Amino acid sequence: MQIDLDTFSAMFDGPDLREVSFLGGRPRFVLRSSMFERDELESLCATARAIRSLDAHEQGARLLERVLHRKRVLHLFAQPSTRTCESFATATARLGGSARVLQDLSATSFVKGETIRDTAQVWAASFDLLVLRHPDDRFVLQCAHSLALGPHTMPMISAGTGTLEHPTQGLLDVFTLLDSLGSLDGRSVAIVGDTSRNRCARSLATLLSRFEQIRIAFVSPPEFEPEQALLESLTARGVRVELHHHLGPLLAAHGESLDAIYVTRLQQEWDEGEAALLGTSPGLVLDPGYRRFLRPSCRILHPLPRVNELPTEWDDHPGFLIWDQVRNGIWARAALIATLVGADAGLREATGA
Amino acid sequence: MQIDLDTFSAMFDGPDLREVSFLGGRPRFVLRSSMFERDELESLCATARAIRSLDAHEQGARLLERVLHRKRVLHLFAQPSTRTCESFATATARLGGSARVLQDLSATSFVKGETIRDTAQVWAASFDLLVLRHPDDRFVLQCAHSLALGPHTMPMISAGTGTLEHPTQGLLDVFTLLDSLGSLDGRSVAIVGDTSRNRCARSLATLLSRFEQIRIAFVSPPEFEPEQALLESLTARGVRVELHHHLGPLLAAHGESLDAIYVTRLQQEWDEGEAALLGTSPGLVLDPGYRRFLRPSCRILHPLPRVNELPTEWDDHPGFLIWDQVRNGIWARAALIATLVGADAGLREATGA
Amino acid sequence: MQIDLDTFSAMFDGPDLREVSFLGGRPRFVLRSSMFERDELESLCATARAIRSLDAHEQGARLLERVLHRKRVLHLFAQPSTRTCESFATATARLGGSARVLQDLSATSFVKGETIRDTAQVWAASFDLLVLRHPDDRFVLQCAHSLALGPHTMPMISAGTGTLEHPTQGLLDVFTLLDSLGSLDGRSVAIVGDTSRNRCARSLATLLSRFEQIRIAFVSPPEFEPEQALLESLTARGVRVELHHHLGPLLAAHGESLDAIYVTRLQQEWDEGEAALLGTSPGLVLDPGYRRFLRPSCRILHPLPRVNELPTEWDDHPGFLIWDQVRNGIWARAALIATLVGADAGLREATGA
């Protein structure tokens, strides 16, 4: 492939997304949630369920360990994220692979002025899969471009990019909802937080739009409402979208009809100056008093870490799924990796799924 | 378990220590040396000896590798400690487990304001055992509390807490002494250093008190003598305790009767201001000239790192056990881990121990 | 061995080099390129080739994994070097060993005032092989000295020492040249960069001198010409050496006769003050326009990272071997490790090499 970087990058944000993201029917560069359609999401969730079930007994665990046998996975996290990093590393271990974690780019040759292309080639000579978290989407695209050019190459999964995307978080959230609710068609979900800069919120909304008759109520500060492009892509998929600024009135009026509430943290680390001092706006806190507005079966999710927007009084709510999300992160990521290396069908068959 | 943090924490420092530290007869939270009684110490030492012997041949090593097969151990070291950390990681590897080492808490979600409870739950979803070094005992207790609450849980071993406790160092020291001396009853030991803030010294004294007719001579600066609570717990166990401030006169008068001298470093990193400039007080240095006061069979131990309190002239003394301590640290920690997962009896039987 | 540090260190830079570097016919301390003679280099290259070939199929890979079965390798990198570090770690993994990477000496007990001797003994209790990068050759020698004294010991490989030595880089460069050219006798090589402080350049020149009728043209700034000792050792081995300051005139006149050009980066990180501002001197850049002076078969090598001294226009040159070097680094290092543990002959026989 001799395509230049700008053309390559543009493919990820236009109609060529699937062409550049898949190779031979398998995901190759997992940078955008929107690369997945419904059947792929359902297949990934079925694989995640199969892996969880195989992992529970000795013979199944041995089968899992064949998936990445002798493979080495580089987990490169340029931003602090124990949670996502350990989740990926655990998934890698469950599949029998060897996980290498690098959390400090200052130990790399970038400090000596090396290009991303050279560095990515060096990584690809030593590793079989790259899991990359980086604040700069351009950096992520340059890595993918170099891996596409070769000669050394490997597939790559984004583990979160700036405020933009967090496809595997979206995947584990959809898996958790699907696993708990049985089906997603016709579901009504509130997504709470400063959506325009919350990658988890946006990735989830995008993936939900792959199902039928979805309703999403975004609850965010006026200045961080979902951007127009996201809203358009959702409505183009038939999602009924509402925008709100305060949780209380919404739940008082329509809490009974909600199947799930997805609470996120105000992204204070992105702020400089005054905005950083705001803390979580009271209108976006899931107050314990709102419990009376919700069905006991309403699911409560949060991508973690949480600060005060989801008080611990919710931890004993029957629909509280946060700890399930954490475990499901391992299975969903393992499912994605197994799909990348073409082992997913075999795992599903092994459990009759 | 729905016990609150304060009640839970108090259990570790009162009569409920064993109740909160063991579960189903196995150690679950290893935070305090004093949780162990004599029969448990002897059993741990027998297990350590069995592991050392099994590790020496192929078939035995394969047996060891079953103990933590597919288990992942998180080694979280919030204070620099290559020595203890690598010792634990090696023990984990010998038992077939996978070791993950985190030495920088700034890469975790604490920087985003997450509670210890949430973080501990996330760890417990990915790992099977937590080895934790942290300067703050309160942090350690909060972790244990969260693991006790669940839903995700795992056992936990303290790898050193502030100035307070270092149970596995005490364990390896007792193992080294028992292994070398054959029995500990009736032994006379000098413990040298600023005892009131040396966790190694205190953990060793506590464990020695589990044996009969022990005599301990503490040699420390007047301002860092053992605290009253430690002295009382020792004498309550029948230990004959003496307090000294200078090694020279003690050894000149009674060196012949000593079975072991345990030298420790002045804990200068805890000091601020002038105290940090003191260096090791001359009265606490094991001067090479003292050699003539000791039996050649007198054991010399040091938890390392040493600065100048144990000069290298001692390295060829027949009783010099420092390098044995280092190796024994691996076996003693492996024995503790094997006991936590209930594999210890099988290992002892495999060697006829 | 009771030899003191100064005597021990001196052996590495005099006629006793081989005596101190080998033990029982196997390399024990790989600190100096010049420890290797031609037959050893050819044997290492044959082993590297065997390993590359074995790694390509399941049965061969299983054979490789026996080499370091249950062995743990400590990769201690006191200077940033993802490239070399990951190359070694990958080699370790290919041979079935467990790689531990430490890149921050501040986490070790040195900060508490511990001696290198004590620290090295502690490492040797936990690990089976030490791979060490350190800016200070004296530190490296002290480690080796402690490992020679025992009681705990392990072999050791330098992964680069200050400006002085980078023996495994030299080894992979010779392997890459030999593998690509078939033989090295009579070859003509240009080595470009500030040679007097480039450890890669010097290690390569030293190893090339083990072959017959070698010609080396050094191209360097006048102030960083090869030091006299290197030049003398090369000419003593029959190498025909030329010194140049500008690539252009050299290539215009004699480019046709060159078998390989080895470009290196100006070692700007060593500089303080004005020299750091220089960037790569234009006379040392392999200008794309020089392509017309070279045979298409002329090999282009670079130890990486590169800045602007080897423009990317060269990446499609038929002799461009940089990506091969990266992969060969894994095989060459694995070959060296296999030789250290005495497994090399078995691997070569397994492939009929």
Would you state the pLDDT for residue B323?
97
The confidence band for B108, taking pLDDT boundaries of 50, 70 and 90, is low
Beta pairing partners, C190: C217, C261
Chains that touch B (3 or more CB pairs under 8 A): A, C
* % residues pLDDT > 90 (chain B): 84
End-to-end CA distance of chain B: 37
End-to-end CA distance of chain C: 37
Ranges in chain B annotated CATH 3.40.50.1370: 5-165+329-344, 167-327
Query: Count of CB contacts below 8 A, A vs B?
Result: 66
- 8 Å CB contact of A123 and C86: yes
Would you state the pLDDT for residue C270?
45
d(CA B98, CA B42): 28
Residues of B in contact with C115 (CB under 8 A): 312
Q: What is the DSSP letter of A226?
A: P
Ranges in chain C annotated CATH 3.40.50.1370: 5-30+68-162, 167-327
The confidence band for C163, taking pLDDT boundaries of 50, 70 and 90, is confident
Residue predicted with more confidence, A266 or B139: B139
> Residue C315: which of C296, C297, C300 has the closest Cα?
C300
Burial of B58 (0-12, 13-18, 19+ CB in 10 A): exposed
Helices (H), chain C: 5-11, 17-21, 38-54, 58-67, 82-94, 116-126, 137-149, 167-181, 199-208, 228-236, 247-254, 322-340, 344-350
- 8 Å CB contact of C72 and B93: yes
d(CA A271, CA A293): 33
Query: Count of CB contacts below 8 A, A vs C?
Result: 67
Nearest CA in chain C to A101: C101
Question: Which of B114, B126, B146 to probe the A interface (max A CBs under 10 A)?
Answer: B126
- 8 Å CB contact of B83 and C151: no
Beta pairing partners, C216: C189, C241
Least confident of A298-312, B94-108, B208-222: B94-108
* Residue A86 touches chain B, beta carbons under 8 Å: yes
* Residue A75 touches chain B, beta carbons under 8 Å: no
Beta pairing partners, A301: A262
Residue B234 belongs to what H/E stretch? helix B228-236
The answer on pLDDT for C69 being more than 80 is yes
Q: Which class would CATH give B5-165+329-344? A: alpha beta
Joined together, the tokens standing for residue C186 give: 């009579």
pLDDT in tens, B275-334: 444 455 788 999 999 999 999 999 999 999 998 899 999 999 999 999 999 999 999 999
| Strand locations in chain A (E) | 22-23, 26-27, 29-30, 72-77, 98-102, 129-134, 156-161, 188-192, 215-219, 240-244, 260-263, 299-301
* Residue B66 touches chain A, beta carbons under 8 Å: no
pLDDT in tens, B157-172: 999 988 788 999 999 9
Joined together, the tokens standing for residue A332 give: 């969903």
Would you state the pLDDT for residue B280?
58
- 8 Å CB contact of A72 and C93: yes
Rg for chain B, CA atoms, rounded: 20
Least confident of A269-273, B141-145, C306-310: A269-273
Ranges in chain A annotated CATH 3.40.50.1370: 5-165+329-346, 167-327
- 8 Å CB contact of B82 and C109: yes
d(CA B65, CA A312): 40
pLDDT in tens, B171-201: 999 999 999 999 999 999 999 998 888 999 9
pLDDT in tens, A67-106: 999 999 999 998 877 889 999 999 999 999 999 998 877 6
For Cα atoms A313, A317, A321, give the angle at the middle one, nearest 5 degrees. Answer: 105
d(CA C218, CA C319): 20
d(CA C181, CA C298): 10
The answer on pLDDT for B270 being more than 70 is no
Question: How many CB atoms lie under 10 A from the CB of residue A293?
Answer: 18
Would you state the pLDDT for residue C1?
55
> C5-30+68-162 falls under which CATH superfamily?
Aspartate/ornithine carbamoyltransferase (3.40.50.1370)
pLDDT in tens, C18-60: 999 999 999 999 999 999 999 999 999 999 999 999 999 999 9
Average pLDDT over residues C280-285: 82
Fold (topology level) of B167-327: Rossmann fold (3.40.50)
d(CA C179, CA C329): 13
Distance (Å) from the C-alpha of residue B10 to the closest C-alpha of chain A? 23
d(CA A17, CA A30): 10
What's the whole-number average pLDDT of chain B? Answer: 92
- 8 Å CB contact of C117 and B305: no
- Among 3.20.20.80, 3.40.640.10, 3.40.50.1370, 4.10.220.20, name the CATH number for the domain at A5-165+329-346: 3.40.50.1370
Average pLDDT over residues B55-61: 96
* Residue B243 touches chain C, beta carbons under 8 Å: no
- 8 Å CB contact of A80 and B109: yes
> Residue B264: which of B215, B320, B206, B202 has the closest Cα?
B202
pTM: 0.94
The confidence band for C275, taking pLDDT boundaries of 50, 70 and 90, is very low
The answer on pLDDT for A244 being more than 80 is yes
Q: Sign of the CA dihedral A127, A131, A137, A141?
A: positive
The confidence band for A275, taking pLDDT boundaries of 50, 70 and 90, is very low
* Residue B98 touches chain A, beta carbons under 8 Å: yes
Burial of C164 (0-12, 13-18, 19+ CB in 10 A): middle
Nearest CA in chain B to C117: B312
Residues of B in contact with A77 (CB under 8 A): 107
Interface predicted TM-score (ipTM) of this complex, two decimals: 0.91
* Residue A1 touches chain C, beta carbons under 8 Å: no
Q: Position C216: which residue type?
A: I
**What does each C-alpha distance from B332 to B51, B130, B302 come to in angstroms?**
9, 17, 16
d(CA A81, CA A312): 22
Place of tokens 């399941």: C58
